Structure 1
């Protein structure tokens, strides 16, 4: 088991790109949330915006990895109509009792990232150990590497601090 699990949802591939880069930097396991119902085309885009605006969770496939198996969970979502994605909302509602520590990130075409991160933290009922919001244009142009590396470094420091604070096991 790796020290961290990154769970993300991505409709267009932007959040996936950021999550996969972060997983490489952190040496983390990764879990992509999958919709029960596809979100292709204009109808999928409109449904996504509507569900985001209404703060509705979406039907998602059962995850393959269990968050209780990891000391850190990193949650990543796109910003939809100023809100977290409906699949991420569903995942947090289903799994939040199993989260130990959370870090949060979001990708956005326009604005709203800070509000989404605050909403995610509230829904998790946990203060995040680290947060990051990225603009879609930065991710698509591969100009997000420095921000992603700084976020990964912050997580590595926190993970190291936690390992150092853990009681040492001494044989009897």
Structure 2
């Protein structure tokens, strides 16, 4: 089990909850200010609602992914794709978030915490986690081989094949 990934996933879900609470609050502020003639207030609250909502969905997805994969060996292409999504959010979308004084600062703080939750659970380096490296093609091959051997052993135990047939097939699999 990858404890860093488990902790990162749990913290990411907590951040998602907090961002959803903030989005809910700004949504109600937007609705209550809808009669206000000041368009800046309406746009600010609407923008903060949208930003918190978007980042809450991202934190929720990352948290679920981390929790679902904390016991599995990481796959390089998947981890790189997730890293790419995080980079897009923080390099391209974050600068478009509203700059609304202290409220915008709180949003930036929440987004930064979310980023650190991701960094905590993501494998660092080209090899994966220290004690849990990325899956390789050899790993996939050995899993298939073990599945075939398990099926062959079941056939041998049930009497469907002989010991000689089992040994021949076993040699083919291990080549």
Higher strand proportion: 1
Higher helix proportion: 2
What TM-score do you get using the length of structure 1 for normalisation?
Answer: 0.27
- More relative contact order in 1 or in 2 (CA 8 Å, sep 6+)? 2
What TM-score do you get using the length of structure 2 for normalisation?
Answer: 0.26
